[in-house]
Structure 1
Amino acid sequence: MIGLVLAAGAGRRLRPYTDTLPKALVPVDGDTTVLDLTLGNFAKVGLTDVAIVVGYRKEAVYARQAELESKYGVKLTLIDNDKAEEWNNAYSLWCARDVLKEGVILANGDTVHPVSVEQTLLAARGNGQQIILALDTVKNLADEEMKVITDGSGAVQKITKLMDPASATGEYIGVTLIEPDAAEALADALRTTFERDPDLYYEDGYQELVNRGVRIDVAPIGDLKWVEIDNHDDLTRGREIACQY
């Protein structure tokens, strides 16, 4: 199993920081970036091979590759997304379809979270699950969050931003464990998703899988501090909590 980071998006709501940097390289604790935190988490759970999907301002990631490899004791493989500024992240994850075959812990490049999330996902393996989503069942939800409804057995029924927050089981935080056996089906669902609409999210690909009868499980992460950094308010929150990890 390897680590996988999606770090191709433009992050326009974080300008001027993202005028020259991808979102994953915006500092959140001194010189420490979201990518630093994620690579540190991966290393702590023994994932020493990491693939990063890059696109917007990818040269900044390439420039730091050797430094990051040395700092965290990992080997990085950079995967170019040629449509990063045109299409949404369903295509971005599909670009990593070959590494999915190795089994991955996928982390969005804009999610500040503690290593306990990766530990929770790894601990949840072993009962035949193919895909396990890290789920926050504590947070009060609003319209922007990627919300999930599960059935009584903990399987995902629906994943979308477009639902009544009161009906949701919790929020998907942008970290997923994907077993090798799920790679082919997920890649096909992602292709169907971005071919239908290139503006769709990879979570819409998860929904496509569910619609096809594939079970996706969740692992509640408990009451912990994390944030998805989309805008300047999120960045302020990220800087408040990043120093605690």
Structure 2
Amino acid sequence: MHAVILAGGKGIRLRPYTTRLPKPLVPIGDEFSILDIVLSQLAHCGFDRVTLAIGHLGELVRSYVGDGRRWGLDIGYHQQGSALGTMGPVLELLDQLPEEFLVMNGDVLTDISYLDLLHRHRESGAPLTVATYQRQVQVDFGVLSTEDGVVVDFVEKPKLDYRVSMGVYGLSRRTLLPYTPGLPFGFDELVLDLLARHTPPHEYAFSGYWLDIGRPDDYDRANAEFDLIKESLLKGARCASW
């Protein structure tokens, strides 16, 4: 089984932590980086091959991870020459990938079963399977509904519920064959095009632990609660740092 980890972003929202470290290598707790945890989870789930799509400070990722033998993985690299979006790097890798494979962001902390997600994707025959999570967003304003210049409803600082993408996907090679490698191509563009073609993605709804380490507040939260979630994240995993 093959996983592609997107680890080429500049991590601008997470500065200053990412000024000298790529986001997947920022430390979580006293023992691990995000990438440590993800690679250990993938190895435990039965994945044997991983491709790291690297860019910003990619030489540090390559130096730290090496060939992957510490995790029992065969790890290769794809160096991005420019920012290509979420799916752009994957397009350049298609000839190296099996028919179904996993794609994920390199800054995700979750106890999702990557194996089960990929198995469900294979069984469904869907062009794309998106892991989703229920998030509640607090609106910090009073929200008005108006009609013809008249206020017809008012809610003070409502909380809105959304299902959001977790940054983890089951994907099929045939889905990406129509698109041109070398051009920027985002996850949003892929989803909108699949909807326009009447070949909608499938959902893998998840309700366990998930945190996208995208902002300093998220990173601080992950470190603050790591002792409580470590067992869940690393249950049974062959962790290179242990």
- Per the alignment, residue 150 of structure 2 pairs with none
Task: Please tell me whether residue 172 in structure 1 is matched to residue 165 in structure 2.
Answer: yes
2-side partners of 1:206 and 1:88: how far apart? 13
1:237 maps to 2:236: no
Distance in structure 1 (CA, Å) of the matches to 2:195 and 2:19: 37
1:206 to 183, 191, 214: 191
1:49-128 → structure 2 map (5 Å cutoff): 49-66=49-66, 69-84=68-83, 88-114=85-111, 116-124=112-120, 125-128=122-125
* Residue in 1 that maps onto 2:11: 11
The Cα shift of 1:166 comes to 4.8
* Contact 2:94–2:173, Cα closer than 8 Å, also in 1: no
Give 2:177's aligned residue.
184
CA RMSD, Structure 1 to Structure 2 (Å): 2.6
Q: Secondary structure at the match of 2:194?
A: helix
Q: Which has the higher contact order (CA 8 A, sep 6+)?
A: 2
**Residue aligned with 2:131, SS:** strand
Q: Distance in 2 between matches of 1:21 and 1:218?
A: 33
Q: Which residue of 2 aligns with 1:225?
A: 209
- Taking a change above 3 Å as real, the CA distance of residues 95 and 141 of structure 1, as seen in their structure-2 partners, is farther
Give the distance between the partners of 2:177 and 2:47, measured in 1 at CA.
Answer: 22
Structure 2 gaps, min length 5: 140-158, 234-242
Find the residue that maps to 1:61 and give its secondary structure. helix
CA 1:41–1:9: 2 relative to 1, 3 Å: same
In the alignment, the residues of structure 2 paired with residue 216 and residue 18 of structure 1 have an alpha-carbon distance, to the nearest angstrom, of 33
Structure 1 counterpart of 2:151:
none
Deviation, 1:18, is 1.2
Distance 1:131 1:4 in 2: 14
Question: Aligned partners of 2:37, 2:92: CA distance in 1, in Å?
Answer: 23
Match of 2:33 in 1: 33
The structure carrying a bigger strand percent of its residues is: 2
- Identity score, percent: 24
Unpaired stretches in structure 1, ≥5 consecutive residues: 144-164
In the aligned structure 2, how far is the partner of 1:101 from the partner of 1:142?
Answer: 41
* CA–CA distance in structure 1, aligned partners of residues 197 and 69 of structure 2: 42
Say if 1:8 and 1:56, in contact at 8 Å, map to a contact too.
yes
Conserved? CA contact 1:120–1:219, under 8 Å: no
Give the drift of 1:22.
1.1
Q: Distance in 1 between matches of 2:128 and 2:82?
A: 26
How far 1:69 moved relative to its partner? 1.1
Q: 1:203 to 1:36 in 2, by over 3 A?
A: farther
| Alignment of 1:216 onto 2:213 | no
Query: In structure 2, what is the Cα distance between the partners aligned to 1:129 and 1:88?
Result: 22
- CA offset at residue 89 of structure 1? 3.2
Within-5 A mapping of 1:142-161: none
Structure 2 CA distance for partners of 1:179 and 1:89, relative to 1, 3 Å: closer
Give the structure-1-normalised TM-score: 0.75
Could you list the per-position Cα deviations for residues 99-140 of structure 1 after superposition, in whole angstroms to 9, with x for gaps in the alignment? 4444211110111111x331431342313223211111x331
Task: Give the number of aligned pairs.
Answer: 209
TM-score (norm 2): 0.76
From the CA coordinates, give the structure whose radius of gyration is larger: 2
Q: Which 4+ stretches in 1 moved above 4 angstroms?
A: 165-168
